[in-house]
A and B are shown apart, each in its own frame.
Chain A
Amino acid sequence: MITELLVAILLGLVVAAAVVAALARGILTTLAAFGAYSLGLAVVWLVFRAPDVALTEAAVGAGVTTALFLVVVARTIGFGVPQQQRQNSTPSSEFVDGDEATRVGDAGASEGTRLRTAVTGAVRQGRRRSVVVASLVTGGLLLTVPALPVVGAADTPGFGPVTEYYLTDSATRGIDNVVTAILVVYRGFDTFGEIAVVVTAVVAAVAVLNQGEER
């Protein structure tokens, strides 16, 4: 009972954080809400007794991803909009729905106003479209929820004979954390491929980021 209440509160927090992240005007607000979203999910995993996933979600989702986003935003469009400009021009140097951020504040007065209204209109339109798409995707996903098995149902694949084998065999091998045993001992080939993907990703990122940098 108390667990269900806790899960309900946590999921409510996660949904609220997701909505704030999607609709916030300031990029910094979006990033903070996104971090809160990941942290809420991490606690949900913890409640569902998946501490390994919780640790990953907290470290990657709430920690590192937020830091990477901060660095990228600081390098590209920046946070530096004075408070006054922010109040009379709604979306100036904010990054919404992939629209190109325009430094409206730097432009001349009349030109700036025209540009500002254009950007505001584009953002509004894009925002409405994204709200529709997000609602459709959410509705479609919610339709699949009744097909999911009940949490802890005995006839799910998670309780098959292979699980028994993993639990007993990893204990005889001397590995107490079954998750690690599955990742490295039983499914080592998959993990090998996974780490190759991680290395390839950074090689590609470094190759792309080094382009155009005179060294």
Chain B
Amino acid sequence: MTTRPTDSPVVTVTTRLVAMFVLTFALFTLFHGTSSVGGGFQGGVIAAAAVIILAFGVGMERTTAWLSPRWLLALVVAGPLAFVLVAFGGILAGGSFLQFDVLPIPKPSVYATEFVELGIGATVAGVVVSLFVRLSGGVDNE
């Protein structure tokens, strides 16, 4: 399988180096969704790409050993949860479902959007990593 550790030190070192920057870029994309290009979907996919790069570089076993299925599940449900919180928060604050500008926080639209984007990013990253791990042979039976 391609997910076994490669023999080439070039690949291993490169993936280790690149993965850090990919993750940094993912977090940048996630947190700057309201002010520049990107957002939850893009940031989440790039964060998952960092994990996939590591899996190709250091091998599937070492990568899955470092991933926790429970945390992955928590990541996957984070997006809908964030959305539900914000949506019903709008109702509780006296507005309507998913109304942002009535929330009792400073700059409600910006921070509520950021919150939802972070949830979406967590969900997308969790989904892509779970799919990748499952398709390549599962977490437990390696």
**Residues of A that sit less than 8 Å from B by CB:** 51-52, 55-56, 59-60, 63-64, 67-68, 70-72, 74-75, 79, 173-177, 179-181, 183-185, 188-189, 191-192, 195-196, 198-199, 201-202, 205-206, 209-210, 213, 215
Report the minimal beta-carbon distance from B38 to chain A, rounded to whole angstroms.
Answer: 6
Q: Indicate whether B27 reaches chain A with its CB closer than 8 angstroms.
A: no
Contact in complex: A195, B83 (CB < 8 Å)? yes
Report the minimal beta-carbon distance from B54 to chain A, rounded to whole angstroms.
Answer: 11
Looking at chain B's contact residues, the main secondary structure is helix
- When chains A and B are docked, how far (Å) is the Cα of A184 from the Cα of B79? 12
Q: Indicate whether B8 reaches chain A with its CB closer than 8 angstroms.
A: no
**Residues of B that sit less than 8 Å from A by CB:** 1-3, 29, 33-39, 41-42, 45-46, 48-49, 52, 56, 76-77, 79-80, 83, 86-87, 97-98, 100-101, 107, 109-110, 112-113, 116-117, 119-120, 123-124, 126-128, 130-132, 134-138, 140-141
- Contacting residue for A174 out of B76, B98, B109, B141, CB 8 A: B109
Contact in complex: B113, A175 (CB < 8 Å)? yes
Chain B minimum-CB-distance residue to A76: B135
- When chains A and B are docked, how far (Å) is the Cα of A160 from the Cα of B109? 24
**Given A176-B34, A184-B113, A213-B141, do A191 and B134 touch, yes or no (CB 8 Å)?**
no
Contact in complex: A199, B132 (CB < 8 Å)? no
Contact in complex: A184, B116 (CB < 8 Å)? yes
Contact in complex: A205, B134 (CB < 8 Å)? yes
- When chains A and B are docked, how far (Å) is the Cα of A174 from the Cα of B38? 16
Chain B minimum-CB-distance residue to A202: B127
Enumerate the 10 nearest inter-chain pairs by beta-carbon distance, A residue then B residue, closest first. Answer: A173-B109, A71-B136, A59-B45, A51-B37, A202-B127, A195-B79, A188-B98, A74-B2, A184-B113, A55-B42
